[in-house]
Structure 1
Protein backbone atom coordinates (compact mmCIF):
# COMPACT_ATOMS: atom_id res chain seq x y z
CA UNK A 1 0.00 0.00 0.00
CA UNK A 2 1.40 3.42 -0.93
CA UNK A 3 2.25 5.96 1.74
CA UNK A 4 -0.39 8.59 2.62
CA UNK A 5 0.01 12.04 1.09
CA UNK A 6 1.58 14.31 3.71
CA UNK A 7 -0.11 17.69 4.10
CA UNK A 8 0.40 20.85 6.16
CA UNK A 9 -2.24 23.54 6.70
CA UNK A 10 -1.20 27.20 6.89
CA UNK A 11 -3.98 29.57 7.99
CA UNK A 12 -4.03 32.11 10.82
CA UNK A 13 -7.56 31.08 11.87
CA UNK A 14 -7.48 28.17 14.28
CA UNK A 15 -11.07 27.12 13.53
CA UNK A 16 -10.34 26.98 9.81
CA UNK A 17 -7.32 24.75 10.39
CA UNK A 18 -9.34 22.52 12.70
CA UNK A 19 -12.16 22.22 10.17
CA UNK A 20 -9.84 21.28 7.31
CA UNK A 21 -7.95 18.83 9.51
CA UNK A 22 -11.17 17.22 10.76
CA UNK A 23 -12.22 16.35 7.22
CA UNK A 24 -8.88 15.42 5.69
CA UNK A 25 -8.12 13.17 8.67
CA UNK A 26 -11.05 11.01 7.55
CA UNK A 27 -9.29 10.27 4.24
CA UNK A 28 -7.10 7.18 4.58
CA UNK A 29 -4.71 8.34 1.87
CA UNK A 30 -4.13 11.81 3.37
CA UNK A 31 -2.41 12.72 6.62
CA UNK A 32 -1.98 16.15 8.26
CA UNK A 33 1.59 16.35 9.52
CA UNK A 34 1.71 19.98 10.60
CA UNK A 35 0.07 23.38 10.90
CA UNK A 36 1.23 26.99 10.63
CA UNK A 37 -0.24 30.46 11.11
CA UNK A 38 2.17 32.67 9.13
CA UNK A 39 4.42 32.69 6.09
CA UNK A 40 7.56 32.19 8.16
CA UNK A 41 6.11 29.36 10.25
CA UNK A 42 4.73 27.66 7.12
CA UNK A 43 8.16 27.68 5.52
CA UNK A 44 9.77 26.45 8.74
CA UNK A 45 7.28 23.58 9.09
CA UNK A 46 7.87 22.59 5.47
CA UNK A 47 11.63 22.62 5.89
CA UNK A 48 11.29 20.37 8.94
CA UNK A 49 8.63 17.95 7.67
CA UNK A 50 8.95 18.07 3.84
CA UNK A 51 5.23 17.53 3.17
CA UNK A 52 3.88 16.59 -0.25
CA UNK A 53 1.34 19.42 -0.26
CA UNK A 54 1.05 22.72 1.62
CA UNK A 55 -2.45 24.21 1.91
CA UNK A 56 -1.86 27.97 2.09
CA UNK A 57 -4.24 30.84 2.81
CA UNK A 58 -3.35 34.13 1.11
CA UNK A 59 -4.37 36.38 4.01
CA UNK A 60 -2.20 35.65 7.03
CA UNK A 61 0.86 37.25 8.65
CA UNK A 62 3.58 37.51 6.03
CA UNK A 63 1.09 36.71 3.28
CA UNK A 64 0.35 33.55 1.34
CA UNK A 65 2.33 34.70 -1.68
CA UNK A 66 5.46 35.06 0.42
CA UNK A 67 4.75 31.71 2.09
CA UNK A 68 4.51 30.12 -1.33
CA UNK A 69 7.77 31.70 -2.46
CA UNK A 70 9.62 30.59 0.68
CA UNK A 71 8.27 27.04 0.49
CA UNK A 72 9.02 26.59 -3.20
CA UNK A 73 12.54 27.95 -2.68
CA UNK A 74 13.46 25.88 0.35
CA UNK A 75 11.29 22.79 -0.29
CA UNK A 76 10.92 22.36 -4.06
CA UNK A 77 9.39 18.90 -3.65
CA UNK A 78 6.43 20.41 -1.75
CA UNK A 79 3.55 21.50 -3.98
CA UNK A 80 1.49 24.51 -2.91
CA UNK A 81 -2.30 24.56 -3.05
CA UNK A 82 -3.74 27.99 -2.30
CA UNK A 83 -6.99 27.67 -0.33
CA UNK A 84 -8.46 31.10 0.29
CA UNK A 85 -11.49 33.35 -0.05
CA UNK A 86 -9.36 35.96 -1.81
CA UNK A 87 -10.11 36.51 -5.52
CA UNK A 88 -8.03 39.61 -6.33
CA UNK A 89 -6.60 39.26 -9.87
CA UNK A 90 -3.15 40.54 -8.92
CA UNK A 91 -2.88 38.16 -5.97
CA UNK A 92 -3.94 35.23 -8.13
CA UNK A 93 -1.18 35.94 -10.66
CA UNK A 94 1.38 36.68 -7.93
CA UNK A 95 0.60 33.38 -6.20
CA UNK A 96 1.09 31.47 -9.45
CA UNK A 97 4.29 33.37 -10.20
CA UNK A 98 5.55 32.51 -6.70
CA UNK A 99 5.11 28.82 -7.49
CA UNK A 100 1.59 27.84 -6.42
CA UNK A 101 0.40 24.86 -8.44
CA UNK A 102 -3.29 24.91 -7.53
CA UNK A 103 -5.77 27.56 -6.38
CA UNK A 104 -9.12 26.85 -4.71
CA UNK A 105 -11.64 29.04 -2.89
CA UNK A 106 -12.99 28.24 0.55
CA UNK A 107 -16.46 27.65 -0.86
CA UNK A 108 -15.05 24.43 -2.36
CA UNK A 109 -16.77 21.32 -1.00
CA UNK A 110 -14.80 18.87 1.10
CA UNK A 111 -14.64 16.06 -1.46
CA UNK A 112 -13.36 18.45 -4.13
CA UNK A 113 -10.67 19.69 -1.75
CA UNK A 114 -9.51 16.15 -0.98
CA UNK A 115 -9.35 15.31 -4.68
CA UNK A 116 -7.44 18.54 -5.37
CA UNK A 117 -4.88 17.64 -2.69
CA UNK A 118 -4.35 14.24 -4.31
CA UNK A 119 -4.00 15.69 -7.80
CA UNK A 120 -1.75 18.51 -6.63
CA UNK A 121 0.52 15.93 -4.99
CA UNK A 122 0.77 14.27 -8.42
CA UNK A 123 1.82 17.57 -9.98
CA UNK A 124 -1.52 18.41 -11.61
CA UNK A 125 -2.70 22.02 -11.55
CA UNK A 126 -6.21 22.42 -10.09
CA UNK A 127 -7.98 25.77 -10.40
CA UNK A 128 -11.39 26.77 -9.07
CA UNK A 129 -13.57 27.59 -12.13
CA UNK A 130 -13.91 31.27 -11.16
CA UNK A 131 -10.16 31.50 -10.58
CA UNK A 132 -9.40 29.86 -13.92
CA UNK A 133 -11.55 32.45 -15.70
CA UNK A 134 -10.00 35.37 -13.85
CA UNK A 135 -6.48 34.04 -14.33
CA UNK A 136 -6.98 33.77 -18.07
CA UNK A 137 -8.41 37.29 -18.20
CA UNK A 138 -5.51 38.63 -16.14
CA UNK A 139 -2.74 37.08 -18.18
CA UNK A 140 -4.21 37.93 -21.60
CA UNK A 141 -3.74 41.68 -21.19
CA UNK A 142 -1.38 43.21 -23.79
CA UNK A 143 0.96 44.55 -21.12
CA UNK A 144 1.74 41.03 -19.95
CA UNK A 145 2.66 39.55 -23.33
CA UNK A 146 6.03 37.75 -23.11
CA UNK A 147 8.76 38.01 -25.69
CA UNK A 148 7.90 35.48 -28.42
CA UNK A 149 11.55 34.56 -28.92
CA UNK A 150 11.44 32.21 -25.92
CA UNK A 151 8.98 29.99 -27.78
CA UNK A 152 11.54 29.54 -30.55
CA UNK A 153 13.53 27.37 -28.15
CA UNK A 154 10.78 24.73 -28.18
CA UNK A 155 10.51 21.93 -30.69
CA UNK A 156 7.17 21.32 -32.43
CA UNK A 157 6.48 18.43 -30.06
CA UNK A 158 7.29 20.57 -27.04
CA UNK A 159 4.97 23.33 -28.26
CA UNK A 160 2.21 20.75 -28.64
CA UNK A 161 2.83 19.53 -25.10
CA UNK A 162 2.77 23.13 -23.84
CA UNK A 163 -0.62 23.68 -25.47
CA UNK A 164 -2.04 20.55 -23.85
CA UNK A 165 -0.52 21.54 -20.50
CA UNK A 166 -2.38 24.85 -20.82
CA UNK A 167 -5.59 22.83 -21.01
CA UNK A 168 -4.74 21.40 -17.58
CA UNK A 169 -4.25 17.86 -18.88
CA UNK A 170 -2.22 15.28 -16.97
CA UNK A 171 0.81 13.52 -18.45
CA UNK A 172 -1.27 10.37 -18.93
CA UNK A 173 -3.94 12.19 -20.93
CA UNK A 174 -1.33 14.09 -22.96
CA UNK A 175 0.39 10.80 -23.80
CA UNK A 176 -2.91 9.34 -25.00
CA UNK A 177 -3.73 12.41 -27.06
CA UNK A 178 -0.31 12.46 -28.72
CA UNK A 179 0.08 8.72 -29.07
CA UNK A 180 3.41 8.62 -27.20
CA UNK A 181 4.63 7.15 -23.92
CA UNK A 182 4.05 8.86 -20.59
CA UNK A 183 7.80 8.89 -19.90
CA UNK A 184 8.31 10.76 -23.18
CA UNK A 185 5.69 13.29 -22.11
CA UNK A 186 7.50 13.80 -18.80
CA UNK A 187 10.70 14.48 -20.72
CA UNK A 188 8.92 17.01 -22.96
CA UNK A 189 7.37 18.72 -19.91
CA UNK A 190 10.77 18.99 -18.23
CA UNK A 191 12.27 20.42 -21.41
CA UNK A 192 9.47 22.98 -21.75
CA UNK A 193 9.89 24.17 -18.17
CA UNK A 194 13.67 24.34 -18.49
CA UNK A 195 13.71 26.16 -21.84
CA UNK A 196 11.09 28.71 -20.75
CA UNK A 197 12.67 29.03 -17.28
CA UNK A 198 9.43 28.18 -15.50
CA UNK A 199 8.94 26.34 -12.22
CA UNK A 200 5.82 24.26 -12.80
CA UNK A 201 2.85 23.38 -14.98
CA UNK A 202 0.67 26.22 -13.74
CA UNK A 203 3.27 28.79 -14.77
CA UNK A 204 3.54 27.00 -18.11
CA UNK A 205 -0.23 27.32 -18.60
CA UNK A 206 -0.08 31.04 -17.77
CA UNK A 207 2.83 31.47 -20.19
CA UNK A 208 0.91 29.69 -22.95
CA UNK A 209 -2.03 32.06 -22.57
CA UNK A 210 0.25 35.10 -22.47
CA UNK A 211 2.21 34.01 -25.53
CA UNK A 212 -0.91 33.28 -27.57
CA UNK A 213 -0.23 29.55 -27.75
CA UNK A 214 -3.73 29.13 -26.31
CA UNK A 215 -6.56 31.48 -27.33
Structure 2
Protein backbone atom coordinates (compact mmCIF):
# COMPACT_ATOMS: atom_id res chain seq x y z
CA UNK A 1 0.00 0.00 0.00
CA UNK A 2 1.41 3.41 -0.91
CA UNK A 3 1.91 6.26 1.54
CA UNK A 4 -0.84 8.22 -0.17
CA UNK A 5 -3.37 5.42 0.40
CA UNK A 6 -2.33 5.06 4.02
CA UNK A 7 -3.17 8.72 4.58
CA UNK A 8 -6.77 8.22 3.48
CA UNK A 9 -9.51 7.89 6.11
CA UNK A 10 -10.36 4.19 6.42
CA UNK A 11 -13.55 2.45 7.49
CA UNK A 12 -13.98 -1.30 7.99
CA UNK A 13 -17.42 -2.38 6.80
CA UNK A 14 -19.60 -5.51 6.83
CA UNK A 15 -22.38 -5.83 4.22
CA UNK A 16 -25.56 -7.58 5.35
CA UNK A 17 -28.11 -8.22 2.60
CA UNK A 18 -29.76 -11.40 1.34
CA UNK A 19 -29.16 -10.53 -2.32
CA UNK A 20 -25.64 -11.44 -3.40
CA UNK A 21 -25.81 -9.30 -6.55
CA UNK A 22 -26.71 -6.26 -4.47
CA UNK A 23 -23.79 -6.89 -2.09
CA UNK A 24 -21.48 -7.19 -5.11
CA UNK A 25 -22.79 -3.90 -6.48
CA UNK A 26 -22.35 -2.07 -3.18
CA UNK A 27 -18.83 -3.43 -2.79
CA UNK A 28 -17.97 -2.10 -6.25
CA UNK A 29 -19.60 1.28 -5.65
CA UNK A 30 -18.00 2.07 -2.30
CA UNK A 31 -14.61 0.88 -3.51
CA UNK A 32 -14.54 3.49 -6.28
CA UNK A 33 -13.48 6.57 -4.35
CA UNK A 34 -10.23 8.49 -4.46
CA UNK A 35 -10.56 10.19 -1.07
CA UNK A 36 -11.23 7.27 1.24
CA UNK A 37 -10.59 3.58 1.84
CA UNK A 38 -13.67 1.50 2.58
CA UNK A 39 -12.50 -2.00 3.45
CA UNK A 40 -15.30 -4.57 3.20
CA UNK A 41 -14.20 -7.12 5.79
CA UNK A 42 -17.22 -9.43 5.58
CA UNK A 43 -20.62 -10.18 4.06
CA UNK A 44 -23.73 -11.96 5.31
CA UNK A 45 -27.07 -13.00 3.82
CA UNK A 46 -29.13 -13.76 6.95
CA UNK A 47 -29.33 -13.06 10.67
CA UNK A 48 -27.14 -15.97 11.82
CA UNK A 49 -24.39 -15.17 9.32
CA UNK A 50 -24.59 -11.48 10.19
CA UNK A 51 -24.17 -12.03 13.93
CA UNK A 52 -21.26 -14.41 13.31
CA UNK A 53 -19.44 -12.15 10.84
CA UNK A 54 -19.97 -8.94 12.82
CA UNK A 55 -18.85 -10.57 16.05
CA UNK A 56 -15.72 -12.05 14.48
CA UNK A 57 -14.64 -8.99 12.46
CA UNK A 58 -15.82 -6.13 14.74
CA UNK A 59 -16.14 -3.63 11.87
CA UNK A 60 -16.54 0.13 12.24
CA UNK A 61 -19.88 0.12 10.41
CA UNK A 62 -22.41 -2.56 9.42
CA UNK A 63 -24.53 -1.79 6.35
CA UNK A 64 -27.69 -3.62 7.37
CA UNK A 65 -30.73 -4.53 5.29
CA UNK A 66 -34.02 -4.35 7.21
CA UNK A 67 -35.65 -7.49 5.78
CA UNK A 68 -33.49 -10.59 6.29
CA UNK A 69 -34.10 -14.32 6.69
CA UNK A 70 -33.99 -15.31 10.35
CA UNK A 71 -35.62 -12.32 12.00
CA UNK A 72 -34.65 -9.19 10.07
CA UNK A 73 -32.28 -6.33 10.79
CA UNK A 74 -33.84 -5.66 14.19
CA UNK A 75 -32.83 -9.17 15.33
CA UNK A 76 -29.24 -8.55 14.22
CA UNK A 77 -29.22 -5.31 16.21
CA UNK A 78 -30.61 -7.05 19.28
CA UNK A 79 -28.04 -9.82 19.19
CA UNK A 80 -25.15 -7.43 18.55
CA UNK A 81 -26.21 -4.84 21.13
CA UNK A 82 -23.33 -5.63 23.47
CA UNK A 83 -20.59 -5.12 20.85
CA UNK A 84 -18.78 -1.90 21.65
CA UNK A 85 -17.56 0.33 18.84
CA UNK A 86 -19.65 -1.30 16.08
CA UNK A 87 -22.18 1.08 14.50
CA UNK A 88 -25.08 0.13 12.26
CA UNK A 89 -26.41 1.96 9.20
CA UNK A 90 -29.62 0.57 7.71
CA UNK A 91 -29.50 0.32 3.91
CA UNK A 92 -32.86 -0.80 2.58
CA UNK A 93 -35.21 -0.59 -0.37
CA UNK A 94 -38.00 0.12 2.12
CA UNK A 95 -38.87 3.67 3.13
CA UNK A 96 -41.80 2.60 5.32
CA UNK A 97 -42.06 4.49 8.60
CA UNK A 98 -42.38 1.30 10.68
CA UNK A 99 -39.16 -0.12 9.22
CA UNK A 100 -37.24 3.10 9.83
CA UNK A 101 -38.51 3.50 13.39
CA UNK A 102 -37.98 -0.19 14.20
CA UNK A 103 -34.27 -0.26 13.38
CA UNK A 104 -33.57 3.13 14.96
CA UNK A 105 -35.23 1.96 18.16
CA UNK A 106 -33.12 -1.17 17.79
CA UNK A 107 -29.91 0.85 17.85
CA UNK A 108 -29.04 1.76 14.25
CA UNK A 109 -27.35 5.15 13.82
CA UNK A 110 -29.03 5.95 10.52
CA UNK A 111 -31.19 4.78 7.66
CA UNK A 112 -30.63 5.31 3.94
CA UNK A 113 -32.49 3.86 0.99
CA UNK A 114 -30.93 1.88 -1.85
CA UNK A 115 -31.42 4.78 -4.26
CA UNK A 116 -28.43 6.47 -2.59
CA UNK A 117 -25.37 7.08 -4.78
CA UNK A 118 -22.08 5.35 -4.07
CA UNK A 119 -20.44 8.66 -3.12
CA UNK A 120 -23.20 9.56 -0.68
CA UNK A 121 -23.11 6.07 0.81
CA UNK A 122 -19.39 6.35 1.47
CA UNK A 123 -20.01 9.73 3.11
CA UNK A 124 -22.79 8.19 5.23
CA UNK A 125 -20.49 5.35 6.34
CA UNK A 126 -17.83 7.75 7.60
CA UNK A 127 -20.36 10.02 9.28
CA UNK A 128 -21.90 7.07 11.14
CA UNK A 129 -18.43 5.77 12.03
CA UNK A 130 -17.69 9.17 13.57
CA UNK A 131 -20.89 9.19 15.61
CA UNK A 132 -23.33 11.17 13.46
CA UNK A 133 -26.88 10.07 12.69
CA UNK A 134 -27.57 9.87 8.94
CA UNK A 135 -30.92 9.65 7.15
CA UNK A 136 -32.15 9.83 3.58
CA UNK A 137 -34.36 12.89 2.99
CA UNK A 138 -37.78 12.71 4.72
CA UNK A 139 -36.92 9.57 6.71
CA UNK A 140 -35.64 11.67 9.61
CA UNK A 141 -39.14 13.10 9.93
CA UNK A 142 -40.52 9.63 10.69
CA UNK A 143 -38.08 9.25 13.57
CA UNK A 144 -38.66 12.73 14.99
CA UNK A 145 -42.42 12.23 14.87
CA UNK A 146 -42.18 8.80 16.47
CA UNK A 147 -40.03 9.90 19.37
CA UNK A 148 -42.04 13.10 19.90
CA UNK A 149 -45.22 11.02 20.16
CA UNK A 150 -43.87 8.34 22.48
CA UNK A 151 -45.56 7.86 25.84
CA UNK A 152 -42.32 7.10 27.67
CA UNK A 153 -40.16 9.98 28.91
CA UNK A 154 -37.02 10.64 26.82
CA UNK A 155 -34.85 10.14 29.91
CA UNK A 156 -35.34 7.12 32.16
CA UNK A 157 -33.24 7.74 35.24
CA UNK A 158 -33.57 4.13 36.46
CA UNK A 159 -32.37 2.75 33.13
CA UNK A 160 -29.54 5.30 32.99
CA UNK A 161 -28.10 3.80 36.18
CA UNK A 162 -27.35 0.57 34.33
CA UNK A 163 -24.25 -0.05 32.23
CA UNK A 164 -24.61 -1.20 28.62
CA UNK A 165 -23.77 -4.79 29.60
CA UNK A 166 -26.23 -4.71 32.53
CA UNK A 167 -28.97 -3.56 30.13
CA UNK A 168 -28.20 -6.45 27.77
CA UNK A 169 -28.35 -8.96 30.64
CA UNK A 170 -31.60 -7.36 31.80
CA UNK A 171 -33.19 -7.79 28.35
CA UNK A 172 -32.13 -11.44 28.10
CA UNK A 173 -33.37 -12.23 31.62
CA UNK A 174 -36.69 -10.58 30.78
CA UNK A 175 -36.95 -12.73 27.64
CA UNK A 176 -36.67 -15.86 29.77
CA UNK A 177 -33.06 -16.87 29.07
CA UNK A 178 -31.29 -18.99 31.70
CA UNK A 179 -28.01 -17.71 33.16
CA UNK A 180 -26.06 -20.33 31.21
CA UNK A 181 -27.70 -19.26 27.93
CA UNK A 182 -26.98 -15.60 28.64
CA UNK A 183 -23.35 -16.39 29.37
CA UNK A 184 -23.03 -18.29 26.12
CA UNK A 185 -24.64 -15.50 24.08
CA UNK A 186 -22.56 -12.70 25.65
CA UNK A 187 -19.35 -14.76 25.91
CA UNK A 188 -19.13 -14.32 29.68
CA UNK A 189 -19.17 -16.80 32.58
CA UNK A 190 -22.28 -17.76 34.53
CA UNK A 191 -20.66 -16.18 37.59
CA UNK A 192 -20.33 -12.89 35.70
CA UNK A 193 -23.98 -13.12 34.61
CA UNK A 194 -25.01 -13.62 38.25
CA UNK A 195 -22.93 -10.60 39.23
CA UNK A 196 -24.62 -8.43 36.58
CA UNK A 197 -28.10 -9.61 37.64
CA UNK A 198 -27.34 -8.81 41.27
CA UNK A 199 -26.17 -5.33 40.26
CA UNK A 200 -29.30 -4.74 38.18
CA UNK A 201 -31.62 -5.87 41.00
CA UNK A 202 -29.78 -3.66 43.49
CA UNK A 203 -29.78 -0.56 41.25
CA UNK A 204 -33.47 -0.96 40.35
CA UNK A 205 -34.45 -1.97 43.91
CA UNK A 206 -36.10 -5.18 42.71
CA UNK A 207 -36.21 -8.54 44.50
CA UNK A 208 -36.16 -11.22 41.82
CA UNK A 209 -36.17 -11.96 38.08
CA UNK A 210 -39.98 -11.97 37.94
CA UNK A 211 -40.12 -8.36 39.16
CA UNK A 212 -37.29 -7.56 36.77
CA UNK A 213 -39.23 -9.04 33.84
CA UNK A 214 -42.32 -6.97 34.70
CA UNK A 215 -40.15 -3.84 35.00
CA UNK A 216 -38.53 -4.42 31.59
CA UNK A 217 -41.84 -5.27 29.91
CA UNK A 218 -43.47 -2.10 31.23
CA UNK A 219 -40.69 -0.10 29.59
CA UNK A 220 -40.93 -2.05 26.32
CA UNK A 221 -37.34 -3.25 26.65
CA UNK A 222 -38.13 -6.89 25.90
Q: Deviations over 1:49-107 (max 9, x none)?
A: 1110000000111201111222233x221100000011222222221121101110111
TM-score (norm 2): 0.63
CA separation of 1:145/1:6 partners in 2, compared to 1, >3 Å: closer, same or farther? Answer: same
Q: Deviations over 1:122-169 (max 9, x none)?
A: 11111112210122222333xx23237748x9xxxxxxxxxxxxxxxx
CA separation of 1:103/1:196 partners in 2, compared to 1, >3 Å: closer, same or farther? Answer: farther
Q: Which residue does 2:214 correspond to in 1?
A: none
Instruction: Name which of 112, 117, 124 aligns with 1:104.
Output: 112
Cα distance in structure 2, aligned partners of 1:29 and 1:90: 33
State the number of aligned residues: 155
Deviation at 1:3, TM superposition (A): 6.4
Q: Does 1:69 align with 2:78?
A: yes
Cα distance in structure 2, aligned partners of 1:81 and 1:197: 25
Cα distance in structure 2, aligned partners of 1:71 and 1:49: 12
CA RMSD of aligned residues (A): 2.4
CA separation of 1:25/1:90 partners in 2, compared to 1, >3 Å: closer, same or farther? Answer: same
After alignment, is 89-98 or 112-121 more displaced? 89-98
- Contact 1:104–1:128 under 8 Å retained in 2: yes
Cα distance in structure 1, aligned partners of 2:133 and 2:163: 14
Q: Does 1:15 align with 2:21?
A: yes
- Contact 1:65–1:91 under 8 Å retained in 2: no
Choose 1 or 2 for highest CA Rg: 2
Task: Give unmatched runs, 5+ long, in structure 2.
Answer: 1-6, 165-222
Q: Which residue does 1:205 correspond to in 2?
A: none
Q: Which residue does 1:85 correspond to in 2?
A: 93
Q: Which residue does 1:31 correspond to in 2?
A: 39
1:93-132 map, 5 Å: 93-132=101-140
Deviation at 1:196, TM superposition (A): 8.3
CA separation of 1:149/1:10 partners in 2, compared to 1, >3 Å: closer, same or farther? Answer: closer
